[in-house]
Amino acid sequence: MAGKRGALIVLEGVDRAGKSTQSRRLVEGLRAAGMRAELLRFPERTTEIGRLISSYLEKKSNLEDHTVHLLFSANRWEQVPLIKEKLNCGINLVVERYAFSGVAFTSAKENFSLDWCKQPDVGLPKPDLILFLQLSTSEAAKRGDFGNERYENTFFQEKVLQCFHHLMTDKTLNWKTIDASKSIEDLHDEIKSIAEKVIQKVQPKPIGELWK
């Protein structure tokens, strides 16, 4: 059928909420159901910009806060031609973290307004669905310790969570909050069922522009 495009599905959530687990499972589940699906994750660490970000996250280098924010955004923009190409040829994209993480992490720092943080990502392909995996700090702690990367501490993550909640009040976006304390299988079933409905619905619609 002409004009049949893939859906852009984003998974967001705090550290250890299950984003990696569920995005992988969703791609497998959609493929098993006969749909085309691929996984993307941000930051995409394999590009030149991605390597700068990775080194920053691993604390091997320091970057000025505005600069790193713009690099994270550029790291999404550099994938836009690929994202559009895939969606337009009917591939569903499951994306682990997107502009919402970018904005939440920088605006959790001192002296950054949410509005300034959003600007570089205005016009990115708009997700058809954003799944927010909600998990309390205490539940997350049961899943293991924080890693050693930058931002991996409770104080900062709490501030990030507040910023996410603010972004979720935007009714122009299709946010779905999921209780991430459930079992991996139950979560997968719930997520797959929501994703399948969205995939059916978006097929005749053009790709939107984020925050425009």
Ligand X SMILES: Nc1ncnc2c1ncn2[C@@H]1O[C@H](COP(=O)(O)OP(=O)(O)O)[C@@H](O)[C@H]1O
The pattern of x and - marking residues 160 through 189 that bind ligand X according to CB under 6 A reads ----------------------xxx--x--
Least spacing, CB of residue 17 vs ligand X, in Å = 4
Instruction: Give the span between the Cα atoms of 48 and 154, in whole angstroms.
Output: 30
Q: Which lies closer to ligand X via its Cβ, residue 53 or residue 87?
A: 53
Least spacing, CB of residue 168 vs ligand X, in Å = 17
Rg (CA), the chain: 17
Q: Which lies closer to ligand X via its Cβ, residue 13 or residue 50?
A: 13
Number of other CB atoms surrounding residue 94 within 10 Å: 28
Q: What is the DSSP string of 2-33?
A: TT----EEEEEESTTSSHHHHHHHHHHHHHHT
In this structure, are residues 98 and 77 in contact, taking their beta carbons and an 8 Å threshold?
Answer: no
Residue among 6, 14, 20, 26 that touches Mg ion (CB under 5 A)? 20
Least spacing, CB of residue 152 vs ligand X, in Å = 10
192: contact with ligand X by CB under 6 A? no
- Nearest residue to 91 (alpha-carbon basis) of 37, 136, 171, 153: 37
Q: How many residues bind Mg ion (CB under 5 A)?
A: 2
Binding region for Mg ion (CB under 5 A): 19-20
Binding region for ligand X (CB under 6 A): 13, 15-21, 143-144, 182-184, 187
